[in-house]
Structure 1
Amino acid sequence: MDRLVLDWIVAHRIGWLTTAFEAITTVGGLVGLFVVAMIATVYLLTRSHQREATLIFGSMLSGWLVMSLAKLAIGRDRPPFPDRLVVESTHSFPSGHAMLSAILACTAAAVIVRLRGRPSRLLVSLCALGTFLDGLSRVYLGAHWLTDVLAGWILGVLWALLWIRVRPYEAIVARASRR
């Protein structure tokens, strides 16, 4: 399935869409996602929302560690050149872009719901659209196989749900407030 999807995409690439997906994959990369997470964290801290700030940054940092370890443990190769339009030095499975953008989207949506008392359909939809486009860009550019991206989304959502439901950040916030 992975090869069929990649072959179809390669046969249907369009110049302007390639440029758009290159921009999306840059913004949705490790640096871009952590910049957004840091901005959200600082904003929440300035509004005295330590739990929500810790939720976002803690889930992202720990998610990055889990994703990095999974890549090393699995060691799957990326799609071959010339199908691949971007140069990456890490393994392929799971997609870090997909996993981390899913973590950020889910935790940001949870924070929005918590602070507003109700979901903002527009903001939650933008979170979902961002992670969808980030993952799609990775397949389109040949940086990942489709299954890498699907696994990244699934792992990202599960990791975010762990942080949202189990709340490991509560202990971090409690420890910090005792100091």
Structure 2
Amino acid sequence: MRETTTVRRPLRLRPVSPAGWWFDGLLLAAVIGLTAALAAGQLHDLDLAVRSWANAHRPESAYWVTRVLNSLGQGGWFLMPITFGLAALVMLRTRSIRPLLVGIGAFALTSFVVGPVKILTDRAAPSSKLPPEESVRLFNTLPANEWDLSYPSGHVANAIVWYAAMAVLVAALLRTFGRPDAPPALYRTIRVVPPAIVFCTTTYLGWHWITDSIAGLLLGLLLGRLLTRVPWDDLPVPPLPGGVHRPAGLTADD
């Protein structure tokens, strides 16, 4: 009797736009260049000028509106529960554990990339009570209990990565209802509008320097492209009871 084997499709990275790794290299070079410039004392005048303008144009009503909108970039109690909630819906619809991998991937990228960079650069926030010329510096030696995780903006990077994960899951959920692909306008809205709001509100509230937000944007775009490339349905997963390792429609058919 001939032994039958399961043929696994070769892993192929999913397309991103712009295509190719050149853009990823450009984003990485921009992050490194921005960090080097700040470490050399450049662009501090821009940071301080934006901080001064925001402090002078922040009435209480605008403060509370922007603070609520800024929650769109809060990873712990907003982005993570929504993403894993979407994953749970897709899991129920497809009887597959693979949607869970998307949320785990977003968590890993934001936690093990953005977090260490924050610790390494040791920059105070614009709202620090330290003298501005001291709090704006990178690679600082800050006092105990000083807010020192400003660079890059985790809110901005989180928003880009987690909303990229949500877009994958929303598209998969729509496919379970017979929609072959998510409408392009919906996909763009999920991926662009919340991060843009978070970028503006984080800077306006004085929680991050403008260059923190720019670094978060660049790093978030890089990580979001990595997450989007993953062929979630083709990742090798050990056979599980009930076939719950089956594909979940997380990538459009070629």
TM-score (norm 1): 0.80
Task: Please provide the CA RMSD for this pair.
Answer: 2.8
Say which SS state the counterpart of residue 47 (structure 1) adopts.
helix
User: In structure 1, how many angstroms separate the alpha carbons of the residues matched to 2:86 and 2:107?
Assistant: 12
After the TM superposition, which parts of structure 1 deviate over 3 Å for at least 4 consecutive aligned residues? 49-53, 80-83, 110-116, 166-171, 176-179
When structure 1 is superposed on structure 2, of 97-106 and 161-170 the one drifting more is 161-170
Q: Which residues in structure 2 correspond to 1:11-22 (within 5 Å)?
A: 11-22=56-67
| Amino acid paired to 2:75 | L
Q: CA separation of 1:22/1:109 partners in 2, compared to 1, >3 Å: closer, same or farther? A: same
**More helix by proportion, 1 or 2?**
1
| Mapped pair 1:91 → 2:136 | no
Aligned length: 174
Selected match of 2:206 from 137, 142, 147: 142
User: Which residue matches 1:130?
Assistant: 194
Q: CA deviation at 1:175?
A: 2.4
**Number of the residue aligned with 2:36:** none
- Name 2:115's counterpart in structure 1: 68
Please state how far the C-alpha of 1:6 moved relative to its aligned partner: 1.6
Q: CA deviation at 1:145?
A: 0.6
Q: Deviations over 1:35-78 (max 9, x none)?
A: 11221221221122644442243123332221111111111221
Shift in CA distance, 33/112, structure 1 to aligned 2, threshold 3 Å: closer
Q: CA deviation at 1:139?
A: 0.7
Is 1:159 equivalent to 2:159 in the alignment?
Answer: no
Counterpart Cα distance in 2 of 1:91 and 1:101: 17
Of 68, 76, 85, which aligns to 1:39?
Answer: 85
**Aligned partners of 1:163 and 1:169 also within 8 Å:** no
Q: Determine which structure has more spread, i.e. the larger CA radius of gyration.
A: 2
List gaps (5 residues or longer) in structure 1.
none
* Greater alpha carbon shift after TM alignment, 92-101 vs 156-165: 156-165
Q: TM (normalized to structure 2)?
A: 0.59
